[in-house]
A and B are shown apart, each in its own frame.
Chain A
């Protein structure tokens, strides 16, 4: 073992160990906490007064909560894309971004579960789903598959973290006592022996294989919550593939956004390089084309036929009340990112970041457009109902809860990055030098 290798490994460890929040970091966390607290207060009001505090009614019974749920479910797919598909395809350049992808997946799926409980109004009734399940209902399938996906994602986050925990225990002087205790609790048993590594790698491979069908299921089943209902805008055999492609896109958009932020904040230019942005940019543009293709199918085919019940819904989207949001979601969420990322110059980090933000913001509005306009266009005309039933704009409590959940997801990612290395240290060292294994 030469001294250059040792110095190199030490440098990597020093660069990648979690760092304390600076001033900006503290302000960022405080802002997120404030939004979460406001959301929690709004939820307290909802628990106290019931769902009447929302703008939902007899027609729009799924509003911003379900849009948010679908968004969270979609963005969580990124874990399977980066961790599993890239790992199984032996794509090594993705190593520095696997943990970013996994923590996005875990926090998103966690908040997807929470927001669905929020939508129930009476959270204690969730128990009824387990006490009196109706296996024929896609809602039960969704609950099962979300629980499964959460556990797999958690294991896929934890198992590759074990070698890094050993490194962090070794470098305990840099962290406060309670964090060292946490590291010891989570990974003191990891010795890095051949037997341990064999079992661990085997488990990660099984999880990587397993997460792909489960991830496809979670998005397909979520799409079936809509597609198994005979309603304009939802009555489509295309919906599963449409959702999966959209989820891949928003997940990849989320990862490139997070990559850029972590690279800037933690000064990781050496590890998350321009090459990563170049390649992820290519992946995003491919996925954006794929999603655009499904969108054309989803809207052009019914618009060509213009069946009477579909007409009101489609007109509302194309030229009506929802048109600004619809075209914003299509242009900002798909067309502009394609236009930016299709050129080599556009795949520079800043441009990729901008495209990533566009994809994520566009995707959020897209989910809102999937859920709400359809509910405002039932087959039977809306007659003899109060006027407020004919429109939907979320109440401040709904906005606060939805924004609180988004802030909560960002908070989980931020705190994770504060406690654990956001780039796998062990894999980076061994990736650079095969013999460096003995150093750590």
Chain B
């Protein structure tokens, strides 16, 4: 009995404790995985009503942070993911969990066939979550810009059109950001940064800025943008207009200076450097010639 008791204490008890502990650890691990929620987005972009592409981004969202789903295989389909011919392509997400998806020319016919399209993105198995999928649906849309000059007031006219059957019909109540294109934003030209289209599908914004620097000819870009619209996606349109002040740009690298290009070296530096280089190398050449003289003297002797 004593032997059995010892056996139990020495071997069986630790094994039993260990065996019970495993499920509790496993439970903890599973709980940690479950805590993370996938956050996928697939956005449609259209530039100048001509170039369109999609941007996918995948993140794992936990309580404290967002972890990008980096280097994951992604497959994107047009309209129906069950048809292999609808596969737009396979992609790999970058370190931010992002992938840019260009729509190949081969899909031109499929694109023309309908006014509405659905894009489906399928991400390969993510940890214990299995295959993840997201989709976005868009209706074909046109964003246009025009300029007006009424009573010496410059105006920007925005038109929003949706493709219904074969006709482009105006769309009301679309919110559009409008203004002057800047490096990564749009500078408002009036009191409001956005305008909303009326029943004719147009919105008119007064251009109230008196003085804005343009290029050498005074040209600036005005731009309109629809962002994260549930039906149409992300669209942008820009147009060049002569409403800026002509600005003359003087290239600071054009003068002789320490920060200019190699051919614009300051004269003092050029003189100094050449003076030093020629005097040092001149002396070295003299010494090499002296060496030849020594050689000549030796050979003569």
Residues of A within 8 A of B295 (CB): 189
Bound CA–CA A142/B278 (angstroms): 16
Interface size, B (range)? 20 to 34
A159 touching B297, Cβ below 8 Å:
no
Minimum CB distance partner of B256 in chain A: A136
The distance from the CB of A377 to the nearest CB of chain B, in whole angstroms, is 22
Chain A facing B: main interface SS:
helix
The stretch from A148-156, A238-246, A290-298, A408-416 touching chain B is A148-156
Residues of A within 8 A of B261 (CB): 134
The distance from the CB of B300 to the nearest CB of chain A, in whole angstroms, is 9
B265 touching A135, Cβ below 8 Å:
yes
Bound CA–CA A418/B11 (angstroms): 70
A193 touching B301, Cβ below 8 Å:
yes
Interface: B258 (CB within 8 A): yes
A191 touching B301, Cβ below 8 Å:
yes
Bound CA–CA A199/B262 (angstroms): 41
Interface: B21 (CB within 8 A): no
Residues of B within 8 A of A195 (CB): 297
The distance from the CB of A229 to the nearest CB of chain B, in whole angstroms, is 13
Bound CA–CA A132/B265 (angstroms): 12
B262 touching A151, Cβ below 8 Å:
no
A193 touching B297, Cβ below 8 Å:
yes
Bound CA–CA A133/B266 (angstroms): 14
B283 touching A206, Cβ below 8 Å:
yes
> Interface size on A (CB < 8 Å)?
30
The distance from the CB of B6 to the nearest CB of chain A, in whole angstroms, is 49
B291 touching A214, Cβ below 8 Å:
no
A151 touching B284, Cβ below 8 Å:
yes
Residues of A within 8 A of B298 (CB): 188-191, 193, 196
B262 touching A136, Cβ below 8 Å:
yes
Minimum CB distance partner of B298 in chain A: A189
The stretch from B134-142, B232-240, B269-277 touching chain A is B269-277
Bound CA–CA A159/B295 (angstroms): 12
Interface: B168 (CB within 8 A): no
B280 touching A135, Cβ below 8 Å:
no
Interface: B299 (CB within 8 A): yes
Knowing A135-B265, A148-B280, A199-B290, say if A189 contacts B258 (CB, 8 Å): no
Bound CA–CA A188/B265 (angstroms): 47
A-B contact count (CB 8 A): 68
Residues of B within 8 A of A214 (CB): 280
Knowing A136-B258, A189-B295, say if A148 contacts B301 (CB, 8 Å): no
Bound CA–CA A193/B287 (angstroms): 18
Knowing A135-B270, A193-B298, A214-B280, say if A207 contacts B262 (CB, 8 Å): no
The distance from the CB of A98 to the nearest CB of chain B, in whole angstroms, is 18
Interface: B215 (CB within 8 A): no
Minimum CB distance partner of A158 in chain B: B291
B297 touching A134, Cβ below 8 Å:
no
Minimum CB distance partner of B295 in chain A: A189
Q: Looking at the complex, which one of B260, B284, B288 makes contact with A136 (CB distance below 8 Å)?
A: B260
Residues of A within 8 A of B301 (CB): 191, 193
Interface: A384 (CB within 8 A): yes
Q: Looking at the complex, which one of B277, B283, B291 makes contact with A144 (CB distance below 8 Å)?
A: B277
B294 touching A189, Cβ below 8 Å:
yes
Residues of B within 8 A of A202 (CB): 290
Interface: B281 (CB within 8 A): yes
Residues of B within 8 A of A193 (CB): 297-298, 301
Interface: A386 (CB within 8 A): yes
Interface: B107 (CB within 8 A): no
Most A CB contacts (10 A, CB to CB) among B96, B257, B295 go to B295
Question: Hey, what's the 0/1 contact readout for A158-191 against B, CB within 8 Å counting as 1?
Answer: 0100100000000000000000000000001111
- Give B residues with C-beta under 8 Å from A: 95-96, 257-262, 265-266, 269-270, 273, 277, 280-281, 283-284, 287-288, 290-291, 293-299, 301
List the 5 closest pairs (A to B, CB-CB), nearest first: A189-B298, A134-B262, A189-B295, A135-B265, A386-B95
